[in-house]
Structure 1
Amino acid sequence: MKKAVAPEGSWLSTSQLPLAERHQFWRDCVNECLIDVDFPGDADHPIEASLRHTDLERVRLNQIRAQRHCVQRSQANIAKDSRHSVFLCFMLSGYGFSYQGTRCVQHAPGDIVIYDTRMPYGHGFAGDMEMLIVDLSVELAHHHLGAWPRKELLYLGRDTHMAADCKRLFGSLEPLLQVTYSQRARLECALALLKQLGTLAGRLYASDNQPVLWGQVERYVLQHLHDELTADDLARMLNISRRTLYRLFAAQGVSVQNYIWQQRLARCRKTLHSPHQVNRSISEIAFECGFNDAAHFSRRYKAYYGETPQQTRSALQNKAGYPPLEPPLR
């Protein structure tokens, strides 16, 4: 049987092989150039496929053309293959589906599917197809796609609100698809593409997971009001970029620092309203909630609530009932 090799910039193809040898040859090609997978399917329809591999050192390009087939990477494949990458699949032609974790998506030309190879995944194609797979190291993927938890695939599609952005990305693919460009030019194109894609993926992740992320923000801030909280602290806690964090807060109509101040002020007001806290000084309460200057706290409190902290406490002491707590504004 012909051995699968990966000459730079040339096509490996099953078309010239006996039908009985095609399946194993193609599996060897993909295993050598990308990662260990299986190709379950009808033995009466041997796969006809071609692959062109280019190693740009920091990224690896794999252009695949094939007829009807399925691909799967199982836990067994993962156990025997220690390689770990993130694949960016640009769908150039044909229709199919991809799945990973709890997510399964249908895709078409103009779509992008992203997944971590340490999690089982699969693809299926009903007819002729072509895709470009950009193979990234985990470190490079983390740098550009840090917001993504990698438990299931990411889908950036032509039928989503990111359609125009995806179209622009596909418009810049030419240097990656043409071996006539220098390796340096192709690498620069790939890195520029990653920068744009990272921005889109961060937007997608924040958009899809805003309720979850915002719930984590609320809990973390309330638990750490006495700490010197910063945007960097929150971004690290959420494992997202600062840019994605700012977009998350913008969707709530508030900046990071204003939200933190609002929560501190709300905690102080709640404490001042409590009959069980009347023996504590206002300064002590302010310091407990993260303010380190009593005068600064009083100014912020009055600007936000329209009364001084002492007036809030006096109202509690002078009235039989207690005023309702005001929720923090956003």
Structure 2
Amino acid sequence: MSLKSWHFSTQAISTEQRSQVWREAMTAACLPHSATPISEAFEGDVHGIVSPIGIEFSRMRATPLTISGSFRNQQPALWLALLLEGRSMFVGSGERVSVARGDMLYGPCGLDSTLELYADFRLLYVRVPTSLLHPGLVDPRRLSAGMLPADSSLTRVLAAMLRAVGDELEYFDADHIHPIEVAVSEFLTASLTGHVAAYTLGDRKRSEHFVRICQAIDQQLGNADLSLNTITEQQHVSSRYVQKLFEDAGMSFTGYVRERRLERCRQELMSPAHRALSVSEICFRWGFNDAAHFSRSFRARFDMTPRECRKGGGVVIDEAESA
């Protein structure tokens, strides 16, 4: 799958056509829009790209505008909105929050909210498919819309990266966007874990411990010998304690490790930056020690073989290569 891009602008468009063009732009960005015609003085443009693994980045520039409601017809995803320039007011979950340049909002797609944008503004809107988020750590169904904490170092790093993405959006290709895809999903998960602590495990201390365990696993996915005993010894806890944490989060230790390894493999199979690696090399690189078992697991998870996934990423397959 290659990088897709699109662009809509009201510039050089007749007054009669502006409302239709803007509705098309908002639809392309999966943002709600009003059926009420925009004013004659309105000006705006939206530039968007869709990364190979399905993350959508849309940069909007416009005169004052209110975005309200939700866009219903879309795949499950979590959205981020970073105000690049201007000021606005966000209304979500019954609260009104002032939003300044650099503030970052989030929420599950499909949930009604309102963003009132004052004066001329620039906004980066990002949609991350839920399949790219850590299973069990971030459940959009349990999240309401809100603002990521500005005092968090993770949030500041994520915001800085997204600001750079917004500034360079037109110039990205599939090779350049891949590390950003991975970083966005990882930073977003890490930034949101504190918001779901009360929901995943019911206790903040246990939830934070669960997050540390998951992070320890993620750092060792390439180790084929990674086991429950490895983690319990490193974390100085019992096997039963770790198993109970995963049970409370609705998964198992083994299932989590397999899911994360398969997702890492899928990302690299779709990445032009990893086209020099064979399917088997990617498989072993992420901790699988049996290529046939990996291929069966991959197909069961993604409904395609590893080779079909790579072909879908636009990478030429050597017919002699094993899967």
Q: TM-score, normalised by structure 2?
A: 0.56
Render the CA deviation track for 1:198-233: whole Å, top value 9, x for unaligned.
212113443xx49x922997xxxxxxxxxx953343
Q: Residue 118 of structure 1 aligns to a residue in which SS?
A: coil
Match of 1:194 in 2: 185
Cα distance in 2, alignment partners of residues 241 and 46 from structure 1: 56
Render the CA deviation track for 1:145-203: whole Å, top value 9, x for unaligned.
61555441131143xx32x4333223323256423343222221132132123212113
Contact kept, 8 Å, 2:81 with 2:104, in 1: the verdict is yes
Match of 1:223 in 2: none
Q: Say if 2:109 is the partner of 1:120.
A: no
Cα distance in 2, alignment partners of residues 169 and 203 from structure 1: 16
Q: How many residues align?
A: 217
Match for 1:90: what amino acid? L
Render the CA deviation track for 1:218-272: whole Å, top value 9, x for unaligned.
xxxxxxxxxx953343344256999xxxxxxxxxxxxxxxxxxxxxxxxxxxxxx
Matches within 5 A, 1:137-216: 137-141=129-133, 143=135, 146=138, 149-158=141-150, 161-162=151-152, 164-173=153-162, 174-175=164-165, 177-178=167-168, 179-206=170-197, 209=198, 213-214=202-203
Consecutive aligned runs of 4 or more in structure 1 exceeding 6 Å deviation: 239-242
Contact kept, 8 Å, 2:49 with 2:58, in 1: the verdict is yes
The alpha carbon displacement at 1:23 in A equals 2.2
Inter-CA distance 147–13: structure 2 relative to 1 (3 Å threshold): same
Match of 2:13 in 1: 17
Q: Report which of the two structures shows the higher radius of gyration computed on alpha carbons.
A: 1
Render the CA deviation track for 1:251-305: whole Å, top value 9, x for unaligned.
xxxxxxxxxxxxxxxxxxxxxxxxxxxxxxxxxxxxxxxxxxxxxxxxxxxxxxx
Inter-CA distance 46–232: structure 2 relative to 1 (3 Å threshold): farther
Cα distance in 2, alignment partners of residues 126 and 45 from structure 1: 17
Match for 1:25: what amino acid? V
Match of 2:66 in 1: 70
Render the CA deviation track for 1:117-145: whole Å, top value 9, x for unaligned.
12112211111111111212121245496
Match of 2:30 in 1: 35
Q: Residue 95 of structure 1 aligns to a residue in which SS?
A: strand
Cα distance in 1, alignment partners of residues 44 and 247 from structure 2: 43
Task: Give the one of 106, 113, 137 matched to 2:98.
Answer: 106
Inter-CA distance 36–130: structure 2 relative to 1 (3 Å threshold): closer
What percent identity do the matched residue pairs reach? 15
Cα distance in 2, alignment partners of residues 215 and 199 from structure 1: 15
The one of the two structures with greater contact order (alpha-carbon pairs below 8 A, sep at least 6) is: 2
Cα distance in 2, alignment partners of residues 96 and 43 from structure 1: 19
The alpha carbon displacement at 1:95 in A equals 1.0
Cα distance in 2, alignment partners of residues 50 and 24 from structure 1: 13
Match of 1:310 in 2: none
Contact kept, 8 Å, 2:136 with 2:250, in 1: the verdict is no
The alpha carbon displacement at 1:116 in A equals 1.2
Inter-CA distance 149–83: structure 2 relative to 1 (3 Å threshold): closer
Match of 2:49 in 1: 54
